Structure formats: structure tokens, C-alpha cells
């Protein structure tokens, strides 16, 4: 049965883990028939968390090339309090053009819509939808759904603030035995091929375990996941 916006909101409001936020972004992709849905926030002490449907390859590439330091979406939203259509942003610099070309190659769509949200003590968040479509269709989509998207953005942020204030999601996450084994191999410096061989599984299966662990840990990429697993005592090497 296809989810309704009401059931999606109810599921989001009942979420107690970062993994549940991830599941909600997946559901919203299907509900709105868009390419990606992402919620990314920086908490009061500067820690970054993310839940969304961007591929880990794109996230790793984004961080490796330091796009965070010049991303027009982030900088544009820092300067605004209202939703931003990506077409309104300044993509004229050489680095911004390179980032956009890179993003399209990694499967992001040509259209984007981001809602900036500000919370207490410097908390800042972005709720983004991304899609492959023409300009007129995208304008129509945003016009039709803008109010609901604003509600969703603030419900995501409300839940993130609950987590930050000591909700269950800030507790040490529980990884499955296979997820733990996969993360331990990476923490020991093994490549994915070496880890898969050590565990007697395919690299595809290993990736499934790593991604599941990453979502549970609220990590932006695999390196961040390993660091969080070590710092929280989830794994000991």
C-alpha cells in the first residue's frame, strides 16, 4: 500500500533512531517521485549528521574534493531564511561549475530545492529535494508541494533536536554482528576487497553491511562512520 503524507509524518514523529530518519527519506523519494531527499544538520557543538539518499560514492567524492567549503547550496542557505530553488543560486564560479558537473555524473538531478532551518544555540539544518526534470515541471512541483515540504523540514528538525537533547538516537547504536565485523575490518585499515575476503562475503554484501552501519551511526560517509564507531566504543580495535 502506497504511503500517504499523513503516515509518513506519523512515522517521522515516532522515530527514535537516526536509521528511522534515513528510512523516511527513502519513503519520501518514492512518495514525491524525486531522485533524492536529504536532511543534513549541524548540532550545537558543530557535529555534522546526515540522513538521505545520496550515494555513498557521491558523499565520499564531495568530502574528498572539499566541496563543503564552496557549495553554493550551503552558502546560499546560510544567507537566507526562506526556501531556495537551486536555479536562484550563484553557480558561475569555476569550482561551482565543476561541482555541478560532478554531481550530475554521480546521479544527482538537474533540479534542487532546499529549505534552511535554524535551531537554538547555533543548530543549522538543510532539507533538500533533488530531481531530474524540466524547469516548468519543477516549478509546478514546488508550487504544489511547498507548504507540505516546509512542514516536513521542520518535523525532521524537531526530531533532530529531540535526539540532541538526549533522545534514544544519541545513545550508543546497536550494530548487528556482521555490521560490527565489517566496521572492525575497515577500522583495522583493510580495503573493502580485503575485508570481504576476510569475512568470506562478496564486496556487494560487505557494502550492504557498511551502509547499514553508517546509517545507524548517523555518519556522513564511511570514514566518518568508522570514526564514530571508535569514539563511541561501538567497536574496539
The backbone region for 50, taken as left when phi is positive above 0, alpha when psi lies in -120 to 50, beta otherwise, is: beta
pLDDT at position 22: 87
CA dihedral 215, 128, 29, 55 (to 10 degrees): -50
pLDDT at position 46: 63
Strand stretches in the chain, DSSP E: 36-42, 48-52, 84-85, 111-118, 124-131
43-47, 121-125, 175-179: least confident range = 43-47
- Residues 5-168, CATH architecture: 2-Layer Sandwich (3.30)
pLDDT at position 41: 85
pLDDT at position 196: 92
Mean pLDDT, residues 106-132 = 91
Closest by alpha carbon to 18, among 53, 49, 55, 57? 49
Mean pLDDT, residues 26-50 = 85
pLDDT at position 45: 61
Closest by alpha carbon to 186, among 62, 67, 56? 56
Res 75 pLDDT > 80? yes
Q: Which CATH number fits domain 172-231: 3.40.50.1000, 3.30.420.240, 1.10.10.10, 1.20.1250.20?
A: 1.10.10.10
Res 115 pLDDT > 50? yes
pLDDT at position 43: 67
SS3 80: coil
- In the chain, what are the domain boundaries? 5-168, 172-231
Of the ranges 37-41, 81-85, 136-140, 186-190, the best mean pLDDT one: 136-140
pLDDT in tens, 154-200: 999 988 888 777 654 445 678 888 999 999 999 988 998 999 999 99
pLDDT in tens, 213-225: 887 887 777 887 8
Of the ranges 31-35, 66-70, 153-157, the best mean pLDDT one: 31-35
pLDDT in tens, 130-142: 999 999 999 999 9
pLDDT at position 166: 61
pLDDT at position 168: 45
Q: Which three cell numbers stand for residue 171?
A: 545513545
Report whether 45 contacts 36 (CB < 8 A): no
Strand 111-118 to strand 36-42: parallel, antiparallel, or no bridges (unpaired)?
A: unpaired
Q: Report the C-alpha gap between 217 and 228 in whole angstroms.
A: 7
Res 42 pLDDT > 80? no
pLDDT at position 226: 85
Amino acid at each position: 500500500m502506497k504511503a500517504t503524507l499523513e503516515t509518513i509524518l506519523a512515522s517521522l514523529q515516532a522515530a527514535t533512531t537516526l536509521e528511522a530518519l534515513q528510512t523516511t527519506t527513502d519513503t519520501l523519494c518514492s512518495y514525491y517521485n524525486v531522485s533524492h531527499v536529504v536532511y543534513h544538520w549541524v548540532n550545537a557543538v558543530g557535529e555534522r549528521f546526515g540522513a538521505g539518499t545520496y550515494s555513498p560514492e557521491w558523499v565520499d567524492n564531495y568530502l574528498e574534493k572539499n566541496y563543503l567549503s564552496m557549495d553554493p547550496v550551503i552558502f546560499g542557505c546560510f544567507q537566507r531564511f526562506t526556501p531556495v530553488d537551486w536555479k536562484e543560486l550563484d553557480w558561475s564560479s569555476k569550482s561551482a561549475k565543476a561541482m555541478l558537473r560532478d554531481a550530475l555524473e554521480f546521479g544527482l538531478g538537474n533540479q534542487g530545492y532546499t529549505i534552511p532551518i535554524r535551531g537554538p544555540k547555533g543548530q543549522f539544518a538543510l532539507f533538500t529535494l533533488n530531481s531530474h526534470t524540466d524547469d516548468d515541471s519543477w516549478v509546478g512541483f514546488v508550487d504544489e508541494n511547498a507548504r507540505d515540504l516546509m512542514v516536513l523540514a521542520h518535523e525532521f528538525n524537531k526530531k533532530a533536536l529531540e535526539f540532541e537533547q538526549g533522545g534514544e538516537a544519541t545513545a550508543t547504536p546497536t550494530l548487528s554482528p556482521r555490521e560490527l565485523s565489517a566496521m572492525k575490518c575497515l577500522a583495522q585499515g583493510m580495503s573493502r576487497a580485503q575485508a570481504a575476503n576476510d569475512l568470506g562475503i562478496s564486496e556487494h554484501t560487505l557494502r550492504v553491511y557498511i551502509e547499514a552501519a553508517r546509517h545507524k551511526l548517523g555518519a556522513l560517509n564511511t570514514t566518518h562512520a568508522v570514526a564514530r564507531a571508535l569514539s563511541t566504543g561501538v567497536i574496539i580495535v
